[in-house]
């Protein structure tokens, strides 16, 4: 990096817009969506989709609800041309869906593109040419009038060549993009858009689409919004114009730039599923659409089963959805932090049917987009007791006493520290069994039974302690009390019983009982134990032995 002061790079110039309106607006309706997955997205793949994969992807876009789909650049290659023809000849295009074809402002490419859409009923013909000072200087070596003429000549030619298609009943619309709009002087961008519009002569029934792309993202989102509002307020035929956005993500703010651009007056958005595209990618339409949804605005696109959408996307593109990508990523409905886990658990429990969604740290109900609650809490060394207890309850049916959460949470935290990785629910369950249920050292329960007489319970038991078998008997006001009294003759260090709880584990006649007992040693230390058995009485004795073994192990 260049040390300060930095002279290699320049700040992006602001837009003079003293009466800007977009900061005070709110998004209340969805834009017109146009997917460019099959062109912009496809050209950015290491292995572009073949025709069969593009057909599967096209069908997915239709199911999601896209009414405008850019299907390719027919003049760029034979496979692009053949795909458009196959869509038309095999009737893959629903009547309410418009296909969009991309084309540079060149005569031979326009002619070839017109051939590709023969027989189409609903087409958007997308013409573009570069307009920025750098493009004019380095690529075209042309001044502004020549750049304008390239665009207007192309529109005029396309209009003439497609006249038979329109006469035959096709709906044909023009989309024009001054490529690298955000790097173009606003006055010149307006000039060329007006010149194109003059040639096309839009009507209320057939508006022109002026697409204003951030071909490379250089500025902050607020400047992008200023540029869009400036154009919207200066276009002479704004009422006959659909202003379209096409942002990229070079600065990582493509979503923000699009949302602010919509506040600034844009009507339409181009982008891709999950943001696939050149360099850092195109706009992520899924994120913008579901951002609207979480504010109570239905986006008009259906992401009810986002997992299935992701599967098709990953199979066809050979790309992976990043684990942290909003809404669709593997980990976005996952909490590792202990305090977050506790807040999620409590707020989720308080959520009432019919009330607005108000679960902490989770902006959308995962069920609305086909995600599950199963992995909502995941455990690593940063996790807390609440998350561990949540998994034990939701995954395995153990309703641990509140006071036990901290103790078992520490067991799992130590395990995560040791392994230096995430701990799965199965590993948490196994750790619980090893720590509390299967302990048989130094005390092993070999036999236990009780009899009751005159409100007193008598127990007979056998334990193995420090290599010796002890036959015990004792009386008390219950099985646990009788067993505690019987242990006094074995040399087991004295302890105090602090708490006891139990519940069923599962349902039906085969359900087992699980008991939890907390004891306090003579040194003032407390330990929980747990036991499982089909007999609730025996489960409680096993829990007591478990607590004893844990205390003796600490000693």
* CATH number of the structural domain spanning residue 447: 3.30.160.270
Angle formed by the axes of helices 425-432 and 385-396, nearest 10°: 90
pLDDT band at 394 (very low <50, low <70, confident <90, very high): confident
14, part of any domain: no
For residue 416, the model assigns a pLDDT of 85
Q: Where does the pLDDT of residue 86 fall: very low under 50, low under 70, confident under 90, or very high at 90 and above?
A: very high
pLDDT band at 554 (very low <50, low <70, confident <90, very high): confident
Contact 293, 299 (CB under 8 A): yes
Percentage of residues of the chain with pLDDT beyond 70:
97
- pLDDT attached to residue 555: 66
- Higher-pLDDT residue of 345 and 481 is 481
Give 451's strand partners: 458
- pLDDT bin (cut points 50, 70, 90) of residue 208 is very high
Whether residue 326 lies inside any domain: the answer is no
21 assigned to some structural domain: no
Based on the fold, state whether residues 173 and 298 are members of the same structural domain.
Answer: yes
d(CA 488, CA 470): 11
pLDDT at 373: 53
How high is the pLDDT of residue 435?
Answer: 96
| pLDDT at position 432 over 70 | yes
Question: At 183, which CATH number?
Answer: 3.20.20.70
d(CA 507, CA 523): 40
134 and 88: one domain?
A: yes
Question: Is 23 part of any domain?
Answer: no
Please indicate, yes or no, if residue 69 is contained in any of the structural domains: yes
DSSP per-residue letters across 103-166: EES-HHHHHHHHHHTTT-SEEEEEEEEE-SHHIIIIII---HHHHHHHHHHHHHHHHHHTHHHH
Sign (positive/negative) of CA torsion 279, 280, 282, 286? positive
**117 with 86: CB under 8 angstroms?**
no
Omega into 27 within 30° of 0, i.e. cis? no
Structure confidence at residue 377 (pLDDT)? 57
Band of pLDDT at residue 389, cut at 50, 70 and 90: confident
Same domain, 189 and 65: yes
What is the mean pLDDT of the segment spanning 389-411? 90
Average pLDDT over residues 463-481: 92
- Burial class of residue 111 in the structure, from the number of CB atoms within 10 Å of its CB (0-12 exposed, 13-18 middle, 19+ buried): middle
pLDDT at 378 over 70: no
Beta strands in 27-97 (DSSP E): 32-35, 68-72
Tell me the residue range of the domain where 124 lies. 31-317
- Residue 157's nearest CA partner among 101, 110, 211, 124 is 110
Question: What is the pTM (predicted TM-score) of this model?
Answer: 0.76
pLDDT at 151 over 70: yes
- CA-to-CA distance for 389 and 384, rounded, in angstroms? 9
* Least confident range of 150-164, 169-183, 226-240, 407-421: 407-421
Q: Which residue has the tokens 């070596």?
A: 141
pLDDT at 270: 98
Please check the confidence at residue 410 and state whether its pLDDT lies above 80: yes
From 85-99, 247-261, 363-377, the region with the lowest mean pLDDT: 363-377
Q: Which of 435, 453, 478 is the last residue of a domain?
A: 435
Between CA 59 and CA 46 the distance in angstroms is: 22
pLDDT > 80? residue 387: no
**Residue 495's closest CA among 477, 508, 480, 507?**
480
Question: Do residues 440 and 399 make contact, with C-beta atoms less than 8 angstroms apart?
Answer: no
Report the distance separating Cα 43 and Cα 38, nearest Å: 8
Alpha-carbon distance of 488 to 465, in angstroms, equals 13
Note whether 238 and 157 are same-domain residues: yes
Diameter of the chain measured on Cα atoms: 111
Q: Please report which confidence band the pLDDT of residue 274 belongs to, taking 50, 70 and 90 as the band edges.
A: very high
Structure-block tokens of residue 169:
């009943």
Q: CA 204, 207, 208 angle in degrees (round to 5)?
A: 155
Residue 108 has pLDDT above 90, yes or no: yes
Q: Which of the listed residues 403, 435, 467 is the one where a domain comes to its end?
A: 435
CA distance 26 to 349: 32
Give residue-wise pLDDT tens across range 18-33: 999 999 999 999 999 9
On whether both 307 and 193 belong to a single domain, the answer is yes
Are both 301 and 175 inside the same structural domain?
Answer: yes
Query: How many percent of the chain have pLDDT more than 90?
Result: 83
Has residue 385 got a pLDDT over 70? no
Same-domain check for residues 354 and 501: no
Q: pLDDT, tens digit, for every residue of 302-337? A: 999 999 999 999 999 999 999 899 999 988 888 777
**To which residue do tokens 């997992």 refer?**
307
pLDDT surpasses 60 at 125: yes
Number of residues that make up the chain: 555
pLDDT of residue 380 exceeding 70, the answer is: no
Map tokens 């032995």 to a residue.
545
Number of domains in the chain: 3
Mean pLDDT, rounded, of the chain = 93
496 and 390 co-located in one domain? no
Say yes or no: 63 and 196 in one domain: yes
Residue 457 has pLDDT above 60, yes or no: yes
Say which residue the tokens 């006649």 belong to: 509
Whether 9 is in a domain gets the answer: no
- Using a 10 angstrom Cβ sphere, with 0-12 exposed, 13-18 middle and 19 or more buried, the burial of residue 545 is buried
Q: Are residues 208 and 64 in the same domain?
A: yes
**What's 433's DSSP letter?**
I
Domain boundary among 435, 460, 494: 435
> Do 152 and 285 belong together in one domain?
yes
Phi-psi region of 491 (alpha: psi -120 to 50; beta: other; left: phi over 0): left
In a domain, 323, yes or no: no
Does the residue 447 lie in any domain?
Answer: yes
Is 350 in the same domain as 289? no
Give exposure, 6-26, as e/b (b: 16+ Cβ within 10 Å): eeeeeeeeebebeebebeeee
């Amino acid at each position: 990096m260049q040390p300060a002061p930095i002279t290699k790079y320049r700040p992006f110039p602001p837009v003079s817009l003293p009466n800007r309106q977009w900061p005070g607006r709110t998004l209340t309706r969805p834009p017109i969506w146009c997917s460019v997955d099959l062109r912009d997205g496809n050209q950015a793949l290491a292995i572009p989709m073949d025709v069969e994969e593009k057909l599967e992807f096209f069908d997915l876009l239709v199911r999601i609800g896209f009414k405008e789909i850019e299907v390719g650049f027919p003049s760029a290659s034979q496979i692009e041309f053949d795909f458009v023809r196959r869509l038309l000849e095999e009737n893959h295009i629903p009547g309410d869906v418009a296909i969009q074809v991309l084309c540079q402002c060149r005569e031979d490419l326009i002619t070839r593109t017109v051939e590709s859409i023969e027989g189409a009923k609903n087409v958007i013909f997308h013409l573009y040419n570069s307009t920025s000072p750098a493009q004019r200087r380095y690529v075209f070596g042309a001044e502004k009038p020549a750049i304008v003429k390239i665009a207007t000549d192309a529109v005029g030619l396309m209009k003439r060549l497609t006249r038979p298609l329109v006469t035959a009943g096709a709906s044909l619309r023009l989309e024009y993009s001054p490529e690298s709009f955000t790097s173009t002087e606003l006055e010149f961008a307006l000039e060329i858009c007006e010149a194109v519009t003059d040639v096309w002569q839009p009507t209320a029934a057939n508006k022109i689409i002026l697409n204003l792309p951030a071909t490379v993202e250089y500025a902050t989102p607020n400047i992008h919004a200023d540029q869009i509002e400036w154009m919207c307020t200066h276009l002479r035929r704004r009422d006959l114009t659909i202003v379209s956005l096409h942002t990229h993500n070079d600065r990582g703010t493509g979503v923000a730039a699009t949302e602010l651009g919509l506040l600034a007056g844009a009507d339409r958005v181009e982008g891709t599923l999950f943001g696939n595209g050149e360099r850092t990618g195109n706009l992520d339409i899924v994120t913008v659409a579901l951002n609207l949804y979480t504010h109570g605005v239905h986006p008009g696109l259906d992401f009810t089963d986002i997992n299935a959408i992701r599967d098709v996307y990953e199979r066809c593109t050979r790309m992976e959805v990043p684990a942290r990508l909003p809404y669709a990523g593997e980990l976005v409905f996952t909490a590792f932090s202990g305090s977050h886990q506790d807040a999620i658990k409590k707020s989720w429990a308080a959520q009432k049917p019919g009330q607005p969604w108000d679960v902490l740290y989770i902006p959308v109900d995962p069920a609305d987009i086909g995600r599950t609650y199963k992995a909502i809490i995941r455990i690593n060394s940063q996790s807390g007791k609440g998350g561990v207890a949540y998994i034990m309850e939701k995954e395995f049916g153990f309703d641990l006493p509140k006071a036990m959460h901290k103790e078992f949470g520490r067991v799992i935290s130590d395990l995560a520290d040791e392994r230096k990785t995430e701990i799965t629910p199965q590993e948490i369950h196994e750790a619980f069994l090893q720590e509390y249920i299967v302990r048989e050292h130094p005390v092993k329960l070999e036999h236990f039974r009780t009899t009751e007489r005159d409100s007193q319970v008598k127990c007979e038991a056998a334990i193995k302690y420090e290599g010796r078998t002890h036959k015990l008997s004792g009386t008390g006001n219950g099985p646990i009390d009788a067993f505690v009294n019987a242990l006094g003759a074995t040399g087991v260090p004295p302890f105090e019983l602090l708490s006891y709880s139990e519940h069923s584990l599962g349902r039906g006649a085969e359900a087992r009982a699980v008991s939890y007992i907390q004891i306090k040693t003579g040194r003032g230390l407390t330990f929980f134990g747990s036991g499982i058995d089909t007999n609730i009485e025996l489960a409680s004795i096993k829990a007591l032995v478990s607590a004893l073994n844990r205390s003796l192990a600490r000693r």
